[in-house]
Amino acid sequence: MPLRIALFSLLVPDYDEALAFFLRIGFECREDTNLGGGKRWVRIAPKGGETEILLARAVGDSQEAAVGAQGGGRVWLFLETEDFDADYRRMQSEGVQFEALPRDEPYGRVVVWSDPWGNRWDLIEFRHADRRGTVAVI
């Protein structure tokens, strides 16, 4: 059986604020379990998506300093869509901050956006069905 990324943690300052943001832009909450002591196990994913994000409330100075900077200033999260224009418009209507206008690249249509904490994401519709962003040579 091949390995896969099941979920990864995203540091956020507050569970409820983060959950509300992601639900507004089309994610779903897969689990929200109170673990006691102010901790929760909050799993979200794009609707129908396989890989999940674990929202992790930052605790302590080093984690709080890393909120929004987990990618070191680079785009490090890639939200794939099958309907770029519709998702772009919906995200715009929800107040998502885009860095520039969408552009066409050899691998697909893409636009960079930031979540409320400064993490940089790509909204991307890959040109090829292989979904890995590789360009087929014909």
Q: What distance in Å separates the CA atoms of residue 48 and residue 66, rounded to the nearest whole number?
A: 29
For tokens 């109170």, the residue is 34
DSSP strands (E only) in the chain: 7-12, 27-36, 39-46, 52-57, 75-80, 97-98, 103-105, 108-114, 120-126
Q: In this structure, what are the phi and psi dihedrals at residue 28, rounded to the nearest 5 degrees? A: -125, 150
DSSP 102-119: -EEETTEEEEEEE-TT--
pTM summary value: 0.89
pLDDT for the residue numbered 131: 57
Domains of the chain: 1-67 (3.10.180.10), 69-138 (3.10.180.10)
What letters, b where the CB count within 10 A reaches 16 and e where it falls short, cover 47-69?
eeeeebbbbbbbeeeeeeeebbe
pLDDT averages per 10-residue partition of the chain, 138 residues: 91 98 97 97 96 97 97 97 97 97 97 98 88 48
Mapped onto helix, strand or coil, the DSSP state of residue 67 is coil
